[in-house]
Structure 1
Amino acid sequence: MIPAALKLSVGARAVRALTVLRRRTGAFPGRDQSTAFLGPEPTGEAARHFHVRDKRKLTSRLREFFVFSPALGRTVGVRVLLPGRPSESAPVLWLLHGSGDDFRSWTDFGDAEALTADSPHLVVMPDAGAASYSRHAVHGTRDTGRGTRVDSDDEVLDWPAFHLEELSSFIADTFSVRPDRIDSAIAGLSMGGYGAMKYAALHPDRFAAAAAFSSPLDPASAVPLFDIIALRQGGAARSLFGDPKHDRAEWDANSPVALATNLRHTDLWFSAGSGTPDPDTEDAVDLLETEVAAHGARFHSALERLGIPHVWCPRPTGVHNWALWRRELAEWLAHIDASPDAVDDPYADGASFDHVTGEPAFSVHGWTVSLSRRRAQLTQFRDVSGQGFTLTGSGTFRVRTADVFHPGEKYRVTVSSPLTDTSYTLRADADGRLEITGRMAGAMHDPIIPGRRTRHFREFGADAVTRVAIAAHVSDGTSTAQMGGAMQENTTAAEVPTSPVVREQNRAPAGSPLENLKF
């Protein structure tokens, strides 16, 4: 008997081979869209701005737009369903499609219009190409106008920027919607469910609820599937997140399983069929659905280890098709409609939180972090509150806090890292924020001769912990005149006070890397 894993591997290889053949002819299923009726793509000044190229009313509730996205460099489609229960302002629900589908699929095949007929949500169904829901550098081609395509410079398809920045702004400007986190939800099927959980984990301050139906939630365990996505989008195999062994940090940075701790206060609901067809169908056993069900089980285990509440619905039957997904969407909509107040926003009052990310620059819950490092790492930003925070990794950091401090007041900042311990005084700006800079573990260096004996450079410093404590500044009773001058009004980490007494008290140790730190 042929093992199921072997069948799945052979099937994935066959799909990859077929996709490579199409790629050689310049046909990329994930990128070729029906936009020829709009004419040539915008160029020059018009290509620098997001704008609507065409719009139409399909039904009393369904609207269709074709928009040009600078983040993608091309025109893509999006469908929007108006609320079934109209109100002055509507909560927003994002529905993401899977690989091989597009922005029309949820309404054409998924009965989204009928299933949301009594929903208060404005439903947004954007295009996502081959459905990587990631930033992807691909080999570019251009149309010669004579029915052939030729090579051009590489291009970057930035799907997260299109969805979460450009399209989100367009929806907020065009429709009367509620901008709060508690009024935003996201869901998807197959690769769309992967995108929904990843977006919710990367931006826990954006979505209060997330759902995934039959989705690969552990990318490192489904490398062939993500290779197919890359090829369908016009890239090479392993071009999405790199080599799963040597670039594991990149895979983890795009994995809902690895980022699960970020979802602690998100209403999570995910499901999968067993791969066994329903008794009243003639479908064969579906190995793909069996595989994604295993992903759901691993995600469930990761959430349980972290003590994060969630709903995991493994089904005794069901294959990878629309019959299953229509049923799952209906059940999830009933779930969120039955408990609209089940998820509050614990971050509204500045509650402590943890955040894990592979991004070198990110914003979460009002905090903005920039990291300068040599290699990709999974960064732990933990115990974040008005009393301080911790960071893991190497390199340098710049953190702009949330507005949780008293404007104009002084605060004592202590940075403790593997390199040095230093303490200095900062004054909160007019918004009640502090800007803190410093060094973490020693910067990683590229080995002269890469190989087994130097591979530790890839991980050096990744687990090193830097602690930052913030406390109200307490004067020692010495007058400003006695200290030799007035304190500077705006002191920063790289600019210590001018008074000799204060400078000696607060400066970094001589020879410390922080002493001459510049950004």
Structure 2
Amino acid sequence: MSSFPVGRGLRAWAVLVAAAALLMLAAPRPLADPSVPQGPPVLTDGHGLTQIGSVGTATEFTVTVTTVQVAKQHPIRIILPPGYWDDPARRYPVLYFLHGSPDSPANQNYPALHSSTSMITVIPDGGPRGWYANWRDQNTAAGAQNWETFHLDQVIPFIDDNLRTVAAKRGRAVAGISMGGFGAMHYAQRRPELFAEVASMSGGLDLSAASMGLRLAVVASLTNAPGGFCGSSSSTGGDCTGSYTPAVSSDALFGSPYPVFNIDRLWNEADPAAHMSRLAGIGISIYTGSGAGDPLSPEYWIEGANKHARDSLNALRMPYYYVGYGNGAGWGTRCDGHHNAGCWAQDLVDYIPRLERAFAAG
């Protein structure tokens, strides 16, 4: 009986394995769909925005832009629904989501913002204390501060030009948290022709002298003084000292904040609670906690301002959706009723499906 040498058998096995590997490498592979970007899609500059870079994936990416309207560089975070690249004929409504102070688009990682399969989410930079407005004083150390022009006249048409949006009022919503909650109401009131839905989550919705505490919190962000809306709302962990540099005058945003001889008229003009009638025909949603009844909590004062806005809506007999979750009991597992992300995450869990239904019905 003959035998096959062990060493020769191992060498033969190695040759077979190598040959199989070569065949696998040589075998044709499925081609990538050329219509699906392998990274962030290429967007076209326009409307005063110049791109200086982009990072991310085909369905979630951040474009950084410059504009003469606002000093420095500004990220715009974009979340596309999972099926965006599957149907080149389908168009999507857009949620413009406005962050709080001091914060940035990069920190808006609420799970509900990634849950939608039927709309695009755009998170533009609002600066640490931009307050979603064109500042009265453009000659401060902070440089140009035309945030309203940047967002409404540049970002929105830039998005409509580059993505498959429903480029009409019925296809747009604006919502925000804290400073962004004020910004959402302010934008919808200033340009009601742009938005079908608006939502504020712990927003400062009363900047009148009746809510002087909130007005002075905004001033604190301008002058870089302690206090304001920080609480535990931002990625700074609640310590906002130094976040608002360079400091500017208390008058930089809306002129003098002091209610003497009507010199605070621009603050009153920007006060959302006083101008709810401008939201006629727009779906309105308001969310607020109570700060657990603690006057040291920003949410304690936010609740009072939101109740003023609600009273205005009631007086006008306008429809709205209002959630006052008090100390947070029963409102998610991480909400304690204070001014923080644990409550806002649950606000968005409630709001996003409602917004999807509103878009579908619109």
TM-score by length of 2: 0.71
Aligned mates of 1:339, 1:55 — CA distance in 2: 32
Report matched runs for 1:72-471 at 5 Å: 72-86=70-84, 88-107=90-109, 110-112=110-112, 115-129=113-127, 130-136=129-135, 137=137, 140-141=140-141, 155-220=143-208, 221=211, 222-231=214-223, 232=244, 234-244=247-257, 245=259, 246-276=262-292, 287-317=297-327, 318-340=337-359
Aligned mates of 1:168, 1:90 — CA distance in 2: 14
Tell me how far 1:325 sits from its aligned partner.
0.3
Report matched runs for 1:46-61 at 5 Å: 49-57=48-56, 59=57, 61=59
Aligned mates of 1:335, 1:131 — CA distance in 2: 29
Gaps of 5+ in 2: 1-44, 224-243, 328-336
Q: Which has the higher contact order (CA 8 A, sep 6+)?
A: 2
Residue by residue over 1:446-491, the C-alpha shift from the partner in whole angstroms, topping out at 9 and shown as x without a partner, is xxxxxxxxxxxxxxxxxxxxxxxxxxxxxxxxxxxxxxxxxxxxxx
Tell me how far 1:162 sits from its aligned partner.
0.6
Q: How many residues align?
A: 274
Residue by residue over 1:94-128, the C-alpha shift from the partner in whole angstroms, topping out at 9 and shown as x without a partner, is 11000111111212xx235xx43233111000111
User: Contact 2:138 / 2:144 at 8 angstroms: preserved in 1?
Assistant: yes
Aligned mates of 1:252, 1:49 — CA distance in 2: 30
User: Contact 1:226 / 1:240 at 8 angstroms: preserved in 2?
Assistant: no
User: Contact 1:202 / 1:259 at 8 angstroms: preserved in 2?
Assistant: no
Cα 1:305–1:156 shift into 2, 3 Å = same
- The DSSP-based 3-state class of the residue aligned with 1:177 is coil
Cα 1:167–1:338 shift into 2, 3 Å = closer
User: For residue 115 of structure 2, what is the amino acid of its counterpart?
Assistant: A
User: Contact 2:99 / 2:178 at 8 angstroms: preserved in 1?
Assistant: yes
Cα 1:169–1:309 shift into 2, 3 Å = same
User: Contact 2:180 / 2:200 at 8 angstroms: preserved in 1?
Assistant: yes
Gaps of 5+ in 1: 1-45, 142-153, 278-283, 345-519
Tell me how far 1:338 sits from its aligned partner.
3.3
User: Contact 2:93 / 2:119 at 8 angstroms: preserved in 1?
Assistant: yes
Tell me how far 1:139 sits from its aligned partner.
5.0
User: For residue 287 of structure 2, what is the amino acid of its counterpart?
Assistant: S
RMSD: 2.2
Residue by residue over 1:156-198, the C-alpha shift from the partner in whole angstroms, topping out at 9 and shown as x without a partner, is 3100011011111211121111111011001000010000011
User: Contact 1:138 / 1:235 at 8 angstroms: preserved in 2?
Assistant: no
User: Contact 1:139 / 1:235 at 8 angstroms: preserved in 2?
Assistant: no
TM-score by length of 1: 0.50
Aligned mates of 2:106, 2:80 — CA distance in 1: 15
User: For residue 269 of structure 1, what is the amino acid of its counterpart?
Assistant: S
User: For residue 127 of structure 1, what is the amino acid of its counterpart?
Assistant: D
Q: Are 1:64 and 2:62 an aligned pair? A: yes
Aligned mates of 2:342, 2:144 — CA distance in 1: 35
Q: Which has the higher strand share?
A: 1
Aligned mates of 1:209, 1:134 — CA distance in 2: 19
Aligned mates of 2:130, 2:81 — CA distance in 1: 26
Tell me how far 1:69 sits from its aligned partner.
1.1
Q: Which residue of 2 aligns with 1:488?
A: none
Q: Which residue of 2 aligns with 1:444?
A: none
- The DSSP-based 3-state class of the residue aligned with 2:70 is coil
